[in-house]
């Protein structure tokens, strides 16, 4: 055990924020950066978000990609801890990158709009987080507006996501009537409109109530809240740290990111309760401690041609053990070849952070000339370290692609291969005709693909949408090519495995009825 290294590792908190678009992820990120002293005024992060833009407008996409690079990792110091927030692109550029980023974090913060409750994208992201079994902290946002009943919102976590929600604080009023938060965890009341900064909190007595002479003590909202608190004490879940760490229970905090209410309390609890980087399973059965002396990590994201003039790629490495230093010699597990990590960037956004060091939990960006692939493991030292492969996420949108100019097959194939390797789109071939079909999690990937094929590989591509499809793999032994029709297109993935792209769930059911003995599987 390396005490000094372990101390550093224990200071790390690496997480991602998951939410449905517009729930307030950007706003809460911004408040956290403000609390961390990284930015000085609200609006800084917001300004980077381009809002409504035509997805076909490449300038905007490019701007956005540039942005998502600099904001891919936000690092700052808070209460003696080193925080890494990994950005999970949402909105139109929702992609496999978003999912894979969740492979590189130790915890997730789930932001929910309290008027809307759990929305589709939150559900999708939660599913990935759940599979990893990492802790999830819930922030019920927009309390300054009228939303749904707090009890409903907490119950929905169990009903829709299957995770037990345990209230850490409880709203006193909502929207126009919001007075504050009953802070169960810290045994105090946090006022929404304090007389001044020194009177933000009201202490509670032994019985967990305000003394009668306190402001708010006979306020109707406060009295309602007390009824609900009694109800929670009787019937609500009890906070259980082990269950939280195992991803079975989520601590629930209410607040309003926009008015910066409840965010600080949330961040303090999060930093306190969220886990430091833990051990990883490597080489299938071994356990690698985060304070192991030898450096190791895996690549969870590659971003290419961030600057079209320079054709550069950055491979994002999640450090899992040891300490990174510039010029480090490592081995790439996939090939067994040595690589010197000369050209690296770290993501320290605060000027106050002088020391440049990266240990388990931190993210390092490596300028890459084509050595790395998503999911690659790298390690220093003699003992081979190979992390579990990253899961593949099943695309939902599909496009048929072909070169516009059949004479330019070579550049078409080259571009296609390289861009597919980056992992933003998946490649399939029609089982019979060998036509190329691309699959992606989000629509923007196709547009980026088309643009980059033209600009980087000089290949104009024809794209025909197949729309939303349900991908299901079939055991090759059960396959009869006659099973295929236009409603369930038969294709093969890049490993040659056959799968059907069903037009919709109805087409899939029809298939099941017709071939009841055929087993279809959904990856993920
Ligand atoms: P996102 O990154 O999850 O997509 O959400 P974002 O933070 O951009 O917030 C989406 C909208 O919700 C924004 O309004 C934002 O101001 C608002 N919002 C975020 N947190 C709160 C909150 O606690 N209370 C209230 N009332 N609103 C909140 P917008 O009108 O789309 O953008 P803008 O005009 O404010 O820029």
pLDDT the model gives residue 274 = 97
pLDDT the model gives residue 390 = 87
User: Which residue puts its alpha carbon closest to atom 6 of ligand 1?
Assistant: 24
Q: Is the CB of 249 under 6 A from ligand 1?
A: no
E-strand ranges in 89-151 read 107-113, 136-141
Mutate to test the pocket of ligand 1, among 258, 262, 263 (most ligand atoms within 8 A of CB): 258
Q: What's the 24 CA to ligand 1 centre distance in angstroms? A: 5
pLDDT surpasses 80 at 25: yes
- Which strands sit side by side in the sheet containing 344-346, from one edge to the other? 337-341, 328-332, 377-379, 296-304, 313-321, 363-368, 344-346
SS3 per-residue string spanning 53-83: CCCCCHHHHHHHHHHHHHCCEEEEEECCEEE
In this predicted model, what pLDDT tens digit does every residue of 47-105 receive, in sequence order? Answer: 545 443 322 233 444 444 443 434 578 888 899 999 999 988 766 556 777 888 999 99
* Angstrom distance (rounded) from CA 393 to CA 370: 23
* Angstrom distance (rounded) from CA 480 to CA 498: 11
In this predicted model, what pLDDT tens digit does every residue of 430-457 receive, in sequence order? Answer: 999 999 999 988 777 788 788 888 888 8
Nearest atom in ligand 1 to the alpha carbon of residue 111 is: 3
In this predicted model, what pLDDT tens digit does every residue of 120-162 receive, in sequence order? Answer: 989 989 999 999 999 999 999 999 999 999 999 999 999 999 9
Q: What's the 28 CA to ligand 1 centre distance in angstroms? A: 9
Q: What's the 142 CA to ligand 1 centre distance in angstroms? A: 8
The angle subtended at Cα 316 by Cα 302 and Cα 266, nearest 5°, is 120
Nearest atom in ligand 1 to the alpha carbon of residue 141 is: 23
pLDDT surpasses 60 at 463: yes
pLDDT surpasses 80 at 190: yes
Put residue 416 in one of left, alpha, beta given phi > 0 → left and psi -120 to 50 → alpha.
alpha
Band (pLDDT 50/70/90 cuts) for residue 301 is: confident
Both tokens of residue 205? 């007595």
Residue 299 near residue 316, CB atoms below 8 Å: yes
């Amino acid at each position: 055990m390396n005490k000094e290294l372990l101390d550093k590792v224990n200071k790390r908190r690496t997480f991602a924020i998951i939410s449905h678009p517009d729930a307030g992820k950007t706003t809460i990120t911004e408040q956290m950066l403000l609390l961390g002293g990284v930015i000085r005024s609200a609006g800084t992060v917001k300004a980077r978000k381009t809002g409504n833009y035509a997805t076909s407008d490449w300038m905007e996409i490019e701007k956005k990609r540039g942005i998502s690079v600099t904001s891919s990792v936000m690092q700052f110091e808070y209460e003696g801890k080193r925080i890494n927030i990994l950005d999970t692109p949402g909105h139109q550029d929702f992609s496999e990158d978003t999912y894979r980023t969740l492979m590189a974090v130790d915890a997730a913060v789930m932001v929910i709009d309290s008027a809307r409750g759990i929305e589709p994208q939150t559900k999708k992201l939660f599913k990935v987080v759940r599979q990893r079994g990492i802790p999830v902290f819930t922030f019920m946002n927009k309390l300054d507006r009228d939303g749904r009943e707090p009890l409903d919102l907490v119950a929905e976590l169990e009903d829709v996501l299957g995770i037990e929600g345990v209230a850490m604080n409880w709203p006193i009023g909502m929207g126009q009537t919001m007075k504050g938060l009953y802070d169960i965890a810290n045994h105090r009341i946090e006022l929404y409109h304090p007389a001044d900064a020194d009177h933000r909190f009201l202490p509670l007595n032994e019985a967990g109530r305000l003394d009668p002479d306190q402001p708010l003590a006979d306020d109707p909202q406060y009295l309602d809240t007390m009824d609900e608190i009694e109800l929670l004490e009787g019937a609500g879940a009890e906070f259980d740290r082990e269950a939280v760490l195992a991803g079975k229970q989520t601590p629930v905090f209410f607040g309003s990111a926009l008015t910066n209410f409840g965010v600080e309390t949330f961040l303090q609890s999060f930093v306190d309760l969220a886990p430091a980087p833990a051990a990883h399973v490597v080489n299938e059965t071994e356990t690698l401690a985060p304070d192991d002396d030898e450096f190791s990590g895996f690549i969870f994201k590659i971003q290419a041609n961030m600057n079209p003039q320079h054709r550069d790629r950055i491979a994002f490495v999640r450090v899992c053990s040891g300490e990174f230093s510039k010029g480090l010699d490592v081995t790439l597990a996939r090939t067994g070849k040595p690589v010197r990590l000369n050209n690296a960037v770290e993501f320290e956004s605060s000027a106050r952070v002088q020391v440049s060091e990266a240990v388990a939990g931190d993210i390092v960006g490596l300028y890459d000339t084509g050595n790395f692939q998503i999911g690659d493991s790298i390690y220093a030292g003699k003992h081979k370290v190979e992390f579990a492969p990253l899961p593949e996420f099943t695309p939902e949108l599909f496009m048929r692609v072909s070169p516009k100019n059949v004479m330019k097959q070579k550049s078409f194939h080259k571009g296609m291969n390289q861009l597919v390797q980056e992992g933003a789109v998946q490649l399939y071939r029609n089982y019979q005709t060998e036509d190329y079909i691309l699959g992606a999690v989000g629509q923007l990937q196709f547009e980026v693909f088309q643009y980059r094929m033209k600009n980087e590989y000089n290949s104009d591509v024809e794209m025909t949408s197949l729309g939303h499809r349900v991908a299901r793999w079939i055991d090759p032994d059960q396959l009869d090519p006659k099973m295929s029709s236009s409603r369930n297109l038969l294709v093969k993935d890049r490993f040659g495995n056959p799968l059907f792209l069903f037009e919709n769930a109805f087409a899939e059911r029809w298939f099941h009825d017709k071939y009841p003995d055929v087993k279809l599987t959904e990856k993920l």
